[in-house]
Every structure is written in structure tokens, then in C-alpha cells.
Chain A
Amino acid sequence: MKSNSNLEKVFASGQLAVTGELGPPKGTNIKVIEEKAKHLKGMVDAVNLTDNQTAIVRLSSIASAKILLDIGLEPVMQMVCRDRNRLAMQSDLFGAVALGVRNMLCLSGDHQVFGNHPQAKNVYDIDSVQMINMLKTMRDEGKLLSGDEIDGEFKMFIGAAENPFGDPFASRVPRLAKKIAAGVDFIQTQCIYDMERFKKWMEGARARGLHEKCFIMAGVTPLKSAGMANYMNNKVSGISIPEDIIKRMKGVPKEQQAEEGIKIMVEQIDELRKVEGIKGIHLMAIEWEHRVPELVERAGLLPRPKFD
């Protein structure tokens, strides 16, 4: 075991893993985390904690991870390259491991122009691929990027994101290969709506045996409304929602659109878990944490495995 994390154990047991996501509050109100966590407990194997997502200042992912650990939920701590240089990253990683964090997700991070401090100076000292490799070196060799020895144990299950919907498409499998070569243990994908493109990407990954070199989790986000579908399709880079899904959402009255979105999500999960090489589902129920029990139940993802 690389980390002994619950998530790693689920993968090792050969069962379909399920992760959720939790956005920390824009302030110090930890009740928000406790409230959201309440709904996720027992429903997912681990929970992603976003790191200043969309470049909006929020309670740090490290502190949020600790709060989650105290509640008894396993965190997947996200870290972006935007806000920290290699010194801060490694120091914060020491802190995270010392506090009991065992899963990490390495991300480039949304550019600060999208956030609430567009005037900020970004860092990007290292990028996400280099961060993966840094973590692997820290874990497997007990060394910092500089080569200095780490005092103490460094256990970590290393994750990264992959977006099969970003362009150029032909670069997306090589990029996955690159992250695997850098040392990634698991991958969570961007929300999948364009099933055709996703399957094509997986086909490319399988052709190179990449699906056996890391655990690939398919990302899903239930659509709450036709408006949300439109917004995500038009405004969020790297997300494309096929016309038939948008039509389906628009085709039902407003008050039934959330229900339709859940139905679509359940169908998507059914389809995704049959795709060869998919080892888990990453459920990003954006500001819908309270409905996660219902979502995972209806998607047939319960009960979640328990290990001693």
C-alpha cells in the first residue's frame, strides 16, 4: 500500500470506487463543511476538497481536510499550482501528511482572472505534471525536489485530473500517459456529458494499456436545470454538453428539470461503469451535497465498502 487510504483500499479490493466533492466556505464558517459532510458520510469513499476553486478565496483545503478527518470522512486534498511555489507546496504537503491526509489531487488550477482577485500575481512555479512527480519522489524516495531527505514518513495516494474534452483531442491520451509516467495513482476526469468523445478517449487509453497503470474515475455532475446545462456548455471551457441532453432538459417543465438531470446522471453512471478501464465514479454534485445520498442510492452505488 502506498498510502493505506480508504480510497486506495477500495481500488485494491477491485470494487468500483466513489468519490464526492465538497467546496469549503468563503470564510471561517466550518459549520458549512460539517453540514455538507453529514450528507456525504457513508455515501462516498473519499471527498475532494477544492483548493480555492475557480480562483475564489475559500477556507484552505488543508484545514478543510483536517475538519473532515475529525468528522470521520476521508479527504482527497486538492492542491493547485496557481497559488504556491515549490517551497510552499512541499511545506504544506508535510503539514497535510502530518495531519493525516493520505489522498492528493494535483491540479494546475483555474486562472486567477476567473476569480475574485484577478489582480493577483500567479505562481505556476511548477505545473501539475511536475507536482505529481514531486509527490512521487517525496513518497517513494523520501526526498524533496531539491534532493534533501525528508524527516519522517510521507505516505500519499497521488491523484490528478484529466479532461478528455479539452483541445486538441489528440493530445489528451498522451497527456494521461505523461501523468502516469510522472507517477499518478488515480485520475478523476472532468464531468462527462459527451459520452462518445469520452469513450473514444478511453479507447485510446486502453490501446496503450494506460487503464491498467492507474485507476481512472469517471467524473459526473448532475444537471440541476436546463439553464445550468446551457451555462456549462457555453461558458465553461473544456465542457461540452451534447445537443440531445440539452434538448432533454429543456423538454420537461422547469420544476421537473432537476429530476430529469438526476435520471440522466443515473443513466450516465450505468453506462460509464460498463466502460472497460473505469474503476470509479467521481461525483461532483455542485452545491447539491445534501442530495448525494439520493444520487448514489439511485445510481446503485451503495453500500460503500468498509475496511478495518
Chain B
Amino acid sequence: MIIAEQKPLEEIREMLGDAKKVMVLGCGACVTICFAGGSKEVGILSSQLRIAAKKDGKELEVIEDTIERQCENEFFESVKDKMKEADVVLSIACGVGVQTIAELFPDILVLPGLNTTSFGRPKEPGVFAEYCGGCGDCILDLTGGICPIARCSKSLLNGPCGGSENGMCEVDPKTIQCAWHLIFEKLEKMGRLDQIEKINPPKDWSNSMSGGVRNIVREDLLEVKLES
């Protein structure tokens, strides 16, 4: 899933400027799971915006809604009229959701309420950890199912570096586990330590963001149109 977190309220309020009617639009997918942009967060953020506006003596109407997914066109059907009534749509979906609105509704001003951070999972209650770097060339078969691209602070392919101490990464010893320590332990447990001594060659980053925009086209799925 996509992990995101809310932008600081100050930043959001600054973006909104003097808008009189704001629609806070949540997304029922990934950002609901990571408690950043679901219906509950729509409620909290809207309430905060109203309180802050009242405190400053500003006129502000906040309308709330949440749709199934903001990354797919069809889910906007039920809210599009409401959206058009607002001065601003504050989307608290990931960056994809915000862009979907921008693309589908050229006349609507859409603003991002979240910072999209990574691909990950809710590792334990309240902890949303990064797991995948979306590099376009998965090597988890070589690394015991632990991704060094996303989970090593230096994305080393032949780690660990010297900054690994007691299983933690020096970049933040409190929250970041050393991915190569984990890889080493996992391969050891599985009796596959020989793998650790194989030199992983320089990575082909052309499948990653470095290779340009990655659009996938599946001919078998394209929309069929009758020729008249």
C-alpha cells in the first residue's frame, strides 16, 4: 500500500488562503489504512479547519466526503457535483488521487493535504514502515525477501556498510533496522549464506524513475470501440 502522512496544518491553511468553501475529500484505500486520509481523518481535519477559522474570525464552510478510491475515474461520480460547488477541493489521498482530480476536473482547484512518502505496510499498530522502492527490477529473490533498495538507507546491493550497529542503521538507530543485518540473519537461518558472498552487479536503474516515466500499456486490456 501507499503510505502518506498529513501535511502540517499551518501549511494546509496557508495553501487554502481565503477560500470560503472547502471540500475535504478522503480516499477509502491505502491512506485510510495508514490513518492519513480516510473518512475519520476527513472529520478531524475538517473540524480543525472550522475551529481555526472561527478562532480567526474567518468565514469558512467545510464540506466532507470520502470516496472508495481517488485513483480511479468512476468513483468520482457520486461527489462530482459537490466538488464543483467548492472553491477548493482539499484531497487527502496520495499524490495519485490529487492528480486524478486535477486531470478529471480541469476547472477545479485541487490541493494536496498529504505528503506521500512510500510503499509499505502497517507493520504493527501505529507503525507504518517502508518496504518497497518501486525500482522496477525486483531482487528479493537474492536478498531473503528483504529489500535493500527501500530498506537500506544507502540502497546498497552488497552490504552491510560499517554503519550497522546492533541490528540498527546509524542514520536513525531508533527506528531504522539495518536491512543487510536482516538479510544476513534471514539467509543464515535458511542455510543460504553462500548467497551473501555473491557479488550483486550494478543495478539496471533504467526500470526505475531514472529511466523516464513508467507507463505500462497492456494491449489486451485496452478499451474496444465499435467503428461506425
Contacts and interface: CB of A to CB of B under 8 A. Distances in A.
Nearest to B193: A174
B178 A127 contact: no
Interface stretch (B58-66, B92-100, B199-207): B199-207
B158 A168 contact: no
Interface in B121-169: 153-167
B69 interface: no
Given A130-B199, A181-B197, A166 B161 contact: yes
A238 B163 contact: yes
B168 to A, nearest CB: 9
Interface stretch (B49-57, B179-187, B217-225): B179-187
Given A111-B163, A171-B180, A182-B199, A127 B157 contact: yes
Given A130-B202, A167-B178, A237-B170, A174 B157 contact: no
Nearest to A179: B158
Given A130-B158, A237-B164, A238-B165, A167 B181 contact: yes
A82 B173 CA distance: 20
Contact of B157 (A82, A110, A130, A168): A130
A110 B170 CA distance: 10
A110 B161 CA distance: 9
Nearest to A86: B202
Interface residues of B, number: 33
B188 interface: yes
Contact of B170 (A109, A111, A165): A111
B196 interface: yes
A264 interface: no
Contacts of A161: 162
Contact of B162 (A122, A129, A168, A238): A238
A145 interface: yes
A133 interface: yes
Given A130-B157, A168-B181, A171-B184, A178 B163 contact: no
Given A167-B166, A167-B167, A108 B199 contact: no
Contact of B154 (A127, A167, A171, A190): A127
Contacts of B180: 171
A170 interface: yes
Contact of B158 (A122, A166, A178): A178
A162 B160 CA distance: 11
A241 interface: no
Contacts of A125: 202-203, 205
Interface of A: 81-82, 86, 108-111, 113, 122, 124-130, 133-134, 145, 161-163, 165-168, 170-171, 174-175, 177-178, 181-182, 190, 237-238
Interface of B: 153-167, 170-171, 173, 178, 180-181, 184-185, 188, 193, 196-197, 199-203, 205
Interchain residue pairs A-B with the least CB separation, the first 9: A163-B162, A237-B170, A129-B158, A238-B162, A166-B162, A127-B156, A237-B163, A126-B202, A108-B161
Given A82-B154, A168-B185, A237-B173, 7 more contacts: A122-B154, A124-B156, A127-B158, A127-B159, A170-B184, A190-B162, A237-B162
